[in-house]
Amino acid sequence: MKKTLFSFSPRRFASVVVKEFIQMRRDRMTFAMMVGIPVLQLVIFGYAINSNPKFLPTVIVEAGQSNFTRAIVSAMKNSEYFSIVKEAESEDEAEKIMKRAEAQFVISFPPDFSRELAKGKRPQLLIQADAADPSAVSYALSAFEGIVNSALAKELKGPLAAIGVKNGPVDIRLHRCFNPEIRTQVNVVPGLLGVILTMTMVFITSLAVTREKERGTMETLLATPVKPLEVMTGKIIPYMIVGYIQITLVLGLAKYLFNISFAGSISLLFFVAFFFIAANLAVGVTISTLAKNQLQAVQMSVFFFLPSILLSGFMFPFRGMPFWAQCIGSMLPLTHFLEIVRGIILRGAGLGDFYRHGIFIVAFLFGIILIGLFRYRQTLD
Amino acid sequence: MGSVNDNKYVIDVRNVRKSFGPKLVVNNIAIQVKRGEIYGFLGPNGSGKTTFIRMLCGLLTPDHAEGTCLGLDVLKQQDLIKPRVGYMTQKFSLYEDLTVLENLKLIAGLYGISDARNVINGITEKTGFSGREKQLAGTLSGGWKQRLALAACLVHSPELLLLDEPTAGVDPKARRDFWEELHKLASEGISALVSTHYMDEAERCHRLAYIAYGNLLARGTIREVIEEAGLHTWRVEGANLSILAEKLRKCDGIEQTIVFGNSLHVTGRDKQRLENAIKPYLNESGFSWMETGSGIEDVFIYLTEKKATDNFK
């Protein structure tokens, strides 16, 4: 026994090596994936990921402009952390924008801000941050006070020079919305819901048609009068149920294990999830019509899954990514689903707040089903 | 050639052609199968049998084809042909992780059978699956798998069976049972096109076609095929037949020699030249010579070899 375990013939060994090389060369797809996946990872990690996001959309609520407020706003722009997207009329309006996740910050100047400042009364300056993803806002927030103080220092000259020397000229109030305790779980756990669905749904169904091809059962199916749409939808439906079991599980754990409270409607989340699950299943089925065998199906799924997890805003702040990466990210259903899930769970968003993301997912679903139907071969040609 | 709508034929096709890339796999084949007939489709591996059958049941698109299957146009009416044909694949292709019953129910559903329960009960009884319905298809032995595949073909009461090497890898008893079942079905009016490369099964068919390298080389009843080939065969028994065969093969007038266990078949096209060729060996001790009729196997091997050499010319 021992002897056979350690005996080694260079000739036998070489034969195995040669055979492996031949097979590797024949399976072009696997080889391409082995080269393609590292390149993809390198590009995404190297270029797309930026944990110090800049140009974050900011809304200003300003009552009465003055040199002081103008100086602060322009200093914020110059810092590159903030990009002023809108000047809101009221706090209410600003709040709605934040709920739609269209702004990361709301900066509110109280009505008599400039007068109080000039009197040296340290007026309040409120900065509200969408802290659902704490890492997205932390750099900007820590820079904020310095930006305000240095901007005002230039304006407070002559008789006003003494103002704020001790405590700073303004009383900066920071309000972290949606995640006041700055817990990472609050952001990650709802995000995981989308990631888990993407992973399992795409993988499971991508194997579905390829398995039939490999086992030869596809020939039986094709010989019967069954139609492509019947096969595709028939394969998707059972996994929809699996998807819903996963959602229930993740939400249950989020609530009872991670103490995440749900700000919005869970039934709305279940409704939207239908289209998201279906979209992922359709991706899987479509992959399996393209792949020649189960290994290729798995590799293609990885090729879809990897950008989904890296560019959707799940792992790294979406707003920190360069424009091209955001463009790719916007083509992935997970990106939009994450916006919806975080919107519902953390911000209490309603259908009206994220309908655009919903429309994308539905459009994606139908697009993919169309490709799948087109690719589905009714013959063995 | 019968008219297109001639009801006598369940398959009446001609000029059926298919190539994969540069390789011509089926070259202008024409066959006619009568209603209630078991039609054998013989030929060596890779001769195009599977491709031809797959084209008939719509799994492959022919490059060119004319004619009808069950009176329907083979190219344009595939959707109408499919529900009336039962196709049995060469490799077992039902679901191994489903039970016998679950497989049959699935097939019944795919064909839209309304009283599936009664139909399936009838079929499991007829094919001897009563009591085994709950067994996983993957755990069935080769013979039973084949029987299940046939049962699955019959669920939708097809008028025509297309069976692609149904008896490959099955033991002799199961093969015999299978052919008996097939003849019973034929007597009920169900026609069958059966491909095989077992020569003995040729004799169980009403008529047959022989193809090699994508070409139809002979067709008709066994007797017609043998007569048409016009071969003459002697049988030799004795020791060291392969050495004798080696010598004979070079002789003028001998087309081929085939070793069958303890005997050797020596075949030629011209009776006189064949006899001249073997004369020197006739009285050699240790051999006993006898003139026999050519068998179907002699004919098929002759046709295949001849076609191969023609191809290289």
B60 with A226: Cβ contact below 8 A: no
pLDDT tens digits along B15-59: 999 999 999 999 999 999 999 999 999 988 888 999 999 999 889
Quick check: A217 contacting B, CB < 8 Å?
A: yes
- Residue B162 sits at φ, ψ, to 5 deg, of -115, 105
CA atoms within 13 A on the CB side of B101: 11
- Rounded to 10 degrees, what is the CA torsion of A279, A280, A286, A292? 180
Q: Among A161, A177, A193, where does a domain finish?
A: A177
Domain end call among A151, A177, A203 = A177
If one counts the domains in chain A, the total is 2
Cβ-proximal residues to A91 (8 Å cutoff; 6+ apart), any chain: A61, A106, A108
What is the chain B residue with the closest CA to A215? Answer: B93
In a domain, A278, yes or no: yes
Predicted TM-score (pTM) of the model is: 0.81
Element (H, E) at B248: helix B241-249
Among B58, B79, B89, beta carbon nearest to A220: B89
**Structural domain includes residue A21:** no
Res B182: pLDDT: 94
- Same domain for A159 and A246, yes or no, is no
Cβ neighbours of residue B193 under 8 Å, at least 6 residues apart?
Answer: B11, B31, B33, B39, B41, B53, B56, B160, B161, B162, B163
> Do the beta carbons of residue B219 and residue B258 sit within 8 Å?
no
Inter-chain CB proximity B110 and A222 less than 8 Å = no
Model pLDDT, residue B65: 95
User: Please, what's the b/e burial string for A171-188 (b: 16 or more CB within 10 A of its CB; e: otherwise)?
Assistant: ebeeebbbbeeeeeebbb
Tell me which chain B residues have a C-beta less than 8 angstroms from the C-beta of A213: none
Q: Give yes or no: residues A243 and A197 share one domain.
A: yes
Q: Does A377 touch chain B (CB under 8 A)?
A: no
Q: What is the pLDDT of residue A162?
A: 76
* A56-62, strands of its sheet edge to edge: A82-88, A56-62, A105-109, A124-130, A171-177
Do A289 and A361 belong together in one domain?
yes
Beta bridge partners of A41: none
Asked if residue A314 belongs to a domain, the reply is yes
- Assess contact for B238 and B286: CB atoms under 8 A: yes
Nearest CA to B187 out of B37, B34, B84, B87 is that of B37
Question: The domain that contains A132 carries what CATH number?
Answer: 3.40.1710.10
Task: Tell if the CB–CB gap between B107 and A222 is shorter than 8 Å.
Answer: no
Please tell me the predicted confidence (pLDDT) of residue B3.
43
- Interface probe, candidates B104, B110, B113, B156, chain A, greatest A C-beta count within 10 A: B110
Cβ proximity of A280 and A197 under 8 Å: yes
Same-domain pairing of A124 and A265: no
Last residue of a domain, one of A177, A198, A227: A177
Are residues A307 and A166 located together in one domain of the fold? Answer: no
Residues of chain A with pLDDT below 50 are none
Q: Which residues of A fall within a CB distance of 8 Å from B110?
A: 221, 224-226
Closest chain B CA to residue A213: B93
Instruction: Tell whether A334 is covered by a domain.
Output: yes
Distance from CA of B9 to the nearest CA of A (A): 22
pLDDT for B2 equals: 40
User: Same domain for A228 and A88?
Assistant: no
* A38: in domain: no
- Cβ atoms of residues A283 and A304 within 8 Å: yes
Contacts of B65 (CB under 8 A, 6+ apart): B13, B15, B16, B17, B55, B74, B75
CB contact B59 to A (< 8 Å): yes
Q: Which residues of A touch B57 (CB under 8 A)?
A: 223
Do A190 and A136 share a domain, yes or no? no
Helix/strand/coil for B24: strand
Query: Do residue A140 and residue A226 come from a single domain?
Result: no
Task: Give pLDDT tens digits for A218-228.
Answer: 999 989 999 88
Outline where chain A has alpha helix (H).
2-6, 10-26, 28-43, 67-79, 91-99, 113-118, 134-155, 184-215, 217-223, 228-256, 266-290, 294-311, 323-330, 333-342, 351-375
CB < 8 Å & 24+ apart, contacts of B281-286: B281/B236, B281/B244, B281/B247, B281/B248, B286/B238, B286/B239, B286/B240
Q: Does residue A7 belong to any structural domain of this protein? A: no
Nearest to B57 among A217, A223, A226 (CB): A223
Which of B59, B61, B107 is the closest to A222 by Cβ? B59
Do A223 and B61 count as a contact with CB atoms less than 8 A apart? no
Q: Tell me whether A215 touches chain B (CB under 8 Å).
A: yes
Nearest to B60 among A215, A216, A381 (CB): A381
**What was the ipTM of the complex prediction?**
0.83
Q: Which residues pair with B17 in a beta bridge?
A: B64
Judgement on whether residues A124 and A267 belong to the same structural domain of the protein = no
CB of B307 closer than 8 Å to CB of B213:
yes
Spell out which residues of chain B touch residue A215, defining contact as CB-CB under 8 Å: 93, 96
Side-chain-side CA neighbours of residue B71 (13 Å)? 7
Q: Pick the more confident residue, B235 or B169.
A: B235
For A381, nearest residue in chain B (alpha carbons): B60
Query: Hey, what are A28's tokens?
Result: 């072009």
Task: With CA atoms as reference, report the closest residue to A287 among A299, A278, A277.
Answer: A299
Residue whose pair of structure tokens reads 């000229």 in the numeric block: A169
pLDDT above 50 (res B1): no
The reply to whether residue A223 touches residue B87, judged by beta carbons under 8 angstroms, is yes
Rounded to an integer, what distance in angstroms lies between the CA atom of residue A215 and that of residue A250?
34
pLDDT tier at B313, thresholds 50, 70, 90: low
Q: Tell me if A224 and B92 make a contact (CB, 8 A cut-off).
A: no
Sheet holding B9-20, edge to edge: B23-34, B9-20, B64-69, B72-73
Give yes or no for B92 touching A (CB within 8 A). yes
Same-domain check for residues A84 and A144: yes
Q: Which of B60, B83, B93 sits opposite A225 (nearest CB)?
A: B83
Per-residue model confidence (pLDDT) at position B4: 44
In a domain? residue A3:
no
Q: Which of A220, A380, A381 to mutate to test the interface with B (most CBs of B within 10 A)?
A: A220
Residues A201 and A221 in one domain: yes
CB B236 within 8 A of CB B263: yes
Amino acid symbol at A329:
G
In a domain, A362, yes or no: yes
Q: Report the SS3 class of residue A244.
A: helix
- Nearest alpha carbon to residue A103 among A55, A51, A59: A59
Q: Which residue of B has its CA nearest to A220?
A: B93
Question: For B289-308, what is each residue's pLDDT tens digit?
Answer: 999 988 898 999 899 888 88
Residue A129 belongs to what domain range? 56-177
pLDDT of residue B312: 66
User: Do A142 and A209 fall within a single domain?
Assistant: no
- Chain B residues within 8 A of A218 when measuring between CB atoms: 93
